[in-house]
Amino acid sequence: MTELKNDRFLRALQRQPVDQTPIWMMRQAGRYLPEYRATRQQAGSFLDLCKNAELACEVTMQPLRRYPMDAAILFSDILTVPDALGLGLYFEEGEGPRFHKTVRSEADLAGLNSIKADDDLGYVMNAVRTIRTELNGLVPLIGFTGSPWTLATYMVEGGSSKDFAQVKAMAYDKPELMHNLLSLLADAVADYLAAQIRAGAQAVQIFDTWGGSLSAAAYQEFSLKYMQQIIARLQADPATRAVPVIVFTKGGGQWLNAIADCGAQGVGIDWTTEIGAARAQIGNRVALQGNMDPSMLYASPARIREEVASILAGYGHGSGHVFNLGHGITPGVNPDHVTAFVDAVREFSPQYHQGV
């Protein structure tokens, strides 16, 4: 593989010295970019876009042509694994993801497909290989997955949910069934991430989007436990152990100590957690990723610059910070405001790395 021209992101994840704070942005390839919308229309559907390696590569590269990001992230979806398991993923306009089938019983669980990531999700690996070739060492490529708990919420609810009534009822009333589902998903996700790494992903992120919906005890039991299992499997394999893992639990700021001990090299935090307090709490155990409120990108460029400066000052001097939003960028953001965001990180962050 081609040698990396910019390894700032990977160095920061290992808490090694860098010249400036690296930056990438969750959902950086997405609907806020007019060129993405054009490619999406060309693809015909969101899933067709995900499954076409050349078009997935194109939308992965689009933000890098506009902004000096320090990492690319694979263009795909967290629900590829449940789709391969046989639930029938589709997208309802204005309603988000939906499944034709749900998992609410032992019979439903037994009826899931047995999958092997290299075969059943081969289109994702094709996209990873295509993107790595196109990047030609420009920046590292991040692969990703949903956490077992987050995937389970969609599989049990049948789509997005406001109250998670079905999945929480299963967790609390039928914990054995829930653990059987989560164990199956942990195995599938570990296989999926390992396949992405073999195909060329240089870091991976586990999106635990709905872990923050749980109580403290339930988070440990139904979410964090299974992410720990995935990371342990990756670290036990010589072919995958050197690739850093980032865990991002939206709403997980109250459990930072436990998350920092899960085995990941990086922990993502959302905008509800003050980054200086997070660093003081976890010390040098892991790198921190985040954490500007995505809605700040609707503010003026001057206000965006103020917020970037505040977050950088909050983290303070030294490496171990990957600048990001506290969740994904939203579709209505003006792309010029992203320019102000990225430029501010570039301008203000070097002072925090001098003499380190």
Q: Look at the chain and report how many structural domains it folds into.
A: 1
Residue 2 located in a structural domain? no
Inform me whether the pLDDT recorded for 95 exceeds 80. Answer: no
Q: What is the mean pLDDT of residues 86-91?
A: 93
Q: Which residues of 223-247 are buried (b: 16+ CB within 10 A; e: fewer)?
A: bbbbbbbbbebbeeeeebeebbbbb
- 145 annotated as belonging to a binding site for a ligand: no
Q: How deeply is 4 buried, as exposed, middle or buried, from its count of CB atoms within 10 A (0-12, 13-18, 19+)?
A: middle
Q: What is the mean pLDDT of residues 62-72?
A: 98
The predicted-structure confidence for 192-234, as pLDDT tens digits, reads as follows 999 999 999 999 999 999 999 999 999 999 999 999 999 999 9
Distance CA 126, CA 121 (A): 9
Domain of residue 228, residue span: 8-352
Task: Report whether 227 contacts 208 (CB < 8 A).
Answer: yes
Residue 234, both tokens: 């990756």
318 is in an annotated binding site: no
- Residues in contact with 211: Cβ distance below 8 Å, sequence separation at least 6, in sequence order: 147, 149, 150, 219, 223, 224, 249, 250, 251, 252
CA 193, 199, 205, 211 torsion: positive or negative? negative
| pLDDT value of position 276 | 97
Residue 206 included in any domain: yes
Whether 154 has a binding-site annotation, put simply, is yes
Q: What is the pLDDT of residue 93?
A: 72
Query: Do residues 342 and 333 lie in contact, with contact meaning Cβ atoms separated by under 8 Å?
Result: no
Question: Angle CA(177)–CA(189)–CA(36) in degrees, nearest 5?
Answer: 120
150 annotated as belonging to a binding site for a ligand: no
For residue 27, say whether it is annotated as part of any ligand binding site.
yes
Q: Is residue 12 in a domain?
A: yes
Does residue 336 belong to any structural domain of this protein? yes
At 356, is the pLDDT very low, low, confident or very high (cuts 50, 70, 90)?
A: low
Q: Are 235 and 241 in contact (CB under 8 A)?
A: yes
> Could you give the CA distance from residue 203 to residue 287 in angstroms, rounded to a whole number?
13
Q: What percent of the chain has pLDDT over 90?
A: 94
**Alpha-carbon distance 241 to 190, whole Å?**
12
Q: Binding site annotation covers 77?
A: yes
pLDDT at position 1 over 60: no
Mean pLDDT, the chain, integer: 96
pTM across the whole model: 0.97
pLDDT digit string (tens) for 25-58?
A: 999 999 999 999 999 999 999 999 999 999 999 9
Does 100 count as an annotated binding residue?
A: no
294-302: average pLDDT: 98
- Residue 175 in domain: yes
Please, what sign has the CA dihedral across residues 84, 90, 95, 99? negative
- Both structure tokens of 295: 């809605």
28 is in an annotated binding site: yes
Asked, for residue 312, whether it belongs to a domain, the answer is: yes
228-263 residue pLDDT tens: 999 999 999 999 999 999 999 999 999 999 999 999
Asked if pLDDT for residue 169 goes beyond 90, the answer is yes
In a domain, 3, yes or no: no
Average pLDDT over residues 102-126: 97
Per-residue confidence (pLDDT) for residue 92, from 0 to 100: 75
In a domain, 1, yes or no: no
CA dist 176 and 89 (Å) reads 26
Residue 101: predicted pLDDT? 96
Which residues are known to be catalytic? 27, 31, 40, 77, 154
152 marked as part of a ligand binding site: no
CATH code for position 78 = 3.20.20.210
Q: What is the mean pLDDT of residues 289-299?
A: 98
pLDDT of residue 2: 77
Q: Are 227 and 219 in contact (CB under 8 A)?
A: no
